[in-house]
């Protein structure tokens, strides 16, 4: 059969204004850009921006394919320029403290009065209302209040560990916000109207904990480390050291896979004791001794294709060289005008929205403000005046 014709990007023709600098809201904007939206990242001019915490590496893909503009949202003339830009936008994403966007006159009430089809997503740590809404926080805090850290294996000193990745910002916040925006755009197709989205990263993190939260709410059984199969209660689900100091992840739940592993390791005596709590210390000791007999990669070569749910614990360098990821095409070539070409992580969702090759990573020193605002219908004389006054850059 001939190949199917290429589909246009899912969000082709969708204009997104991103008022965030980093964190969950910026991750949501990146997802929308990867889906094909035109994303304009709106920041303050240099003299208004203050100290900004930005990724210390030029290859960061968070702004991939975006246009960068700098607008003073407090001055009347430049704020009006932003509002005119928002008149033609489909989505605005902001991550100010709750209430700040409204005080600036760029919140949902102001924007939707001019553009009823607009979707405004406010992404904050704890939500727009409630006793914690004004609290400052970051990824670790949201993982903490959701119970995630308390369900994770303890450090030697008894405290919960630091997560190895920003799961709250990425999954609890960024993906939560992006899915909410996509749902709102779909509903707009049916109703003709936009809507306001109040995305709380802590709420999203709690949602990721639903299997444990729901169990507690229904039974009163409070989960924690080694409470449940997925948090290491049983030896069949854990991390083991190999003979070369490398590590193996063992993720067996089903009895058939457990039987396969026991037979491969000569531990048939434990086949019937997978979920026998009393036997777990002895099973762990036998598994630990068995895995120390060979290097990590030797075990992977021997067991991974035998339905044993085993996988190596990779470093980031190893993950980026993994043949399965390479086959899946999850890495793309990117280009920066000062630093040339390099690889970076591309979109990993299933929709047919290929990233242009090479993907363009914008230079933070170069803005598209005049081009973008001119496209919104602002006359050259007004642009010149705002540039002279330092209101846009």
Q: What is the pLDDT of residues 131-175, one digit of tens each?
A: 999 999 999 999 999 999 999 888 888 888 888 889 999 999 999
Segment 303-315 shows an average pLDDT of 98
* Residue 205 and residue 168 in contact, taking contact as beta carbons nearer than 8 Å: yes
If asked whether residues 83 and 196 sit together in one domain, one would say yes
Query: Domain holding 121: CATH number?
Result: 3.40.50.10540
Segment 37-59 shows an average pLDDT of 73
Predicted confidence band at 21 (pLDDT cuts at 50, 70, 90)?
A: confident
How many Cα atoms sit within 13 Å of 3 on the Cβ side? 3
Residue 320 lies in a domain: no
Q: Which of 102, 138, 336, 368 is catalytic?
A: 138
| Average pLDDT value over all residues in the chain | 92
Per-residue pLDDT reduced to its tens digit, 352-364: 666 666 778 888 7
Domain edge (last residue) among 283, 313, 343: 313
Query: Domain holding 302: CATH number?
Result: 3.30.1540.10
Give pLDDT, residue 130: 98
Examine the pLDDT at 338 and tell me if it is beyond 60: yes
Q: What percent of the chain has pLDDT over 90?
A: 75
Give pLDDT, residue 349: 75
If asked whether residues 134 and 253 sit together in one domain, one would say no
Per-residue pLDDT reduced to its tens digit, 285-294: 999 999 999 9
Residue-number span of the structural domain to which 248 is assigned: 236-313
Q: Determine how β-strand 237-241 pairs with β-strand 247-251.
A: antiparallel
Segment 25-51 shows an average pLDDT of 87
Segment 227-250 shows an average pLDDT of 95
Whether the ω angle into residue 182 lies within 30 degrees of 0, i.e. cis, is: no
User: How many structural domains compose the chain?
Assistant: 2
Examine the pLDDT at 209 and tell me if it is beyond 50: yes
Residue 279 lies in a domain: yes
Give pLDDT, residue 357: 64
Give pLDDT, residue 227: 86
If asked whether residues 175 and 282 sit together in one domain, one would say no
Residue 322 lies in a domain: no
If asked whether residues 181 and 258 sit together in one domain, one would say no
Q: Determine how β-strand 237-241 pairs with β-strand 91-94.
A: unpaired
Domain edge (last residue) among 278, 313, 348: 313
Segment 197-201 shows an average pLDDT of 98
Q: What angle do CA 229, 230, 233 make, to 5 degrees?
A: 40
If asked whether residues 266 and 136 sit together in one domain, one would say no
Give pLDDT, residue 56: 46
Sign of CA dihedral 265, 271, 276, 278: negative
Examine the pLDDT at 96 and tell me if it is beyond 90: yes
Domain edge (last residue) among 282, 313, 344: 313
If asked whether residues 240 and 376 sit together in one domain, one would say no
Give pLDDT, residue 160: 86
Residue 326 lies in a domain: no
If asked whether residues 350 and 281 sit together in one domain, one would say no
Residue 72 lies in a domain: yes
If asked whether residues 45 and 180 sit together in one domain, one would say yes
If asked whether residues 158 and 289 sit together in one domain, one would say no
Residue 367 lies in a domain: yes
Give pLDDT, residue 49: 55
* Residue 72 and residue 106 in contact, taking contact as beta carbons nearer than 8 Å: no
**0.95 surpassed by pTM:** no
Please compute Rg for the chain using Cα positions: 25
227 classed as catalytic: no
Q: Three-state SS across the chain?
A: CCCCCCCCCCCCCCEEEECCCCHHHHHHHHHHHHCCCEEEEEECCHHHHCCCCCCCCCCCHHHCCCEEEEECCCCHHHHHHHHHHHHCCCEEEECCCCCHHHHHCCCHHHHHHHCCCCEEEEEECCCCCCCCCCCCCCHHHHHHHCCCHHHCCCCCCCCCCCCCCCHHHHHHHHHHHHHHHHHHHHHHHHHCCCCEEEEEHHHHHHHHCHHHHHHHHHHCCCCCCCCCHHHCCCCCEEEEECCCCCEEEEECCCHHHHHHHHHHHCCHHHHHHCCCHHHHHHHHHHHHHHHCCCCHHHHHHHHCCCCCCEEECCCHHHHCCCHHHHHHCCEEEEEECCCEEEEEECCCCCCCCCCCCCEECCCCCCCCHHHHHHHCCCCHHHHHHHHHCCCEC
If asked whether residues 182 and 65 sit together in one domain, one would say yes
Residue 220 lies in a domain: no
- Distance CA(12)–CA(268), nearest Å, equals 56
If asked whether residues 190 and 101 sit together in one domain, one would say yes
169 classed as catalytic: yes
Residue 185 lies in a domain: yes
If asked whether residues 269 and 122 sit together in one domain, one would say no
Q: Which of 72, 90, 169, 286 is catalytic?
A: 169
């Amino acid at each position: 059969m001939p190949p199917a014709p290429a589909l246009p990007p899912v969000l082709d023709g969708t204009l997104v204004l991103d008022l965030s600098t980093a964190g969950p809201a910026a991750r949501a904007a990146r997802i929308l850009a990867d889906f094909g939206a035109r994303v304009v990242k709106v920041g303050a001019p240099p003299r208004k921006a203050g100290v900004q915490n930005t990724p210390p590496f030029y290859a960061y893909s968070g702004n991939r394919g975006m246009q960068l503009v700098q607008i003073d949202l407090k001055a009347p003339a430049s704020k009006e320029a932003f509002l005119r830009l928002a008149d033609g936008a489909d989505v605005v994403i902001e991550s100010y403290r709750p209430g700040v966007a409204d005080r600036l006159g760029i919140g949902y009430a102001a924007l939707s009065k001019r553009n009823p089809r607009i979707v405004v997503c406010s992404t904050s740590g704890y939500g727009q209302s409630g006793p914690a809404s004004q609290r400052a926080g970051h990824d670790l805090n949201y993982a903490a209040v959701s119970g995630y850290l308390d369900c994770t294996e303890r450090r030697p000193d008894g405290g919960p560990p630091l997560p190895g990745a920003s799961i709250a910002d990425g999954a609890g916040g960024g993906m939560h916000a992006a899915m909410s925006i996509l749902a709102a755009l779909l509903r707009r197709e049916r109703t003709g109207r936009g809507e306001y989205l109040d995305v709380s990263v802590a709420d999203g993190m709690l949602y990721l904990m639903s299997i444990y939260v729901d169990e507690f709410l229904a039974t009163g059984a409070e989960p924690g480390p080694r409470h449940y199969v997925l948090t290491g209660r049983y030896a069949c689900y854990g991390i083991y050291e190999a003979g070369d100091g490398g590590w193996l992840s063992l993720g067996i739940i089903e009895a058939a896979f457990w039987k396969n592993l026991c037979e491969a390791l000569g531990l048939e005596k434990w086949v019937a004791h997978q979920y026998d709590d009393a036997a777990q210390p002895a099973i762990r000791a036998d598994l630990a001794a068995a895995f120390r007999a060979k290097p990590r990669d030797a075990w992977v070569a021997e067991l991974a294709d035998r339905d044993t749910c085993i996988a190596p614990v990779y470093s980031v360098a190893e993950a980026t060289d993994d043949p399965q990821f390479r086959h899946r095409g999850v890495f793309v070539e990117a280009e920066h005008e000062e630093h040339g070409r390099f690889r970076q992580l591309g979109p990993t969702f299933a929709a047919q929205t290929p990233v242009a090759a090479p993907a363009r990573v914008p230079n933070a020193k170069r803005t598209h403000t005049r081009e973008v605002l001119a496209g919104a219908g602002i006359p050259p004389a007004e642009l010149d005046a705002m540039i002279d006054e330092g209101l846009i850059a």
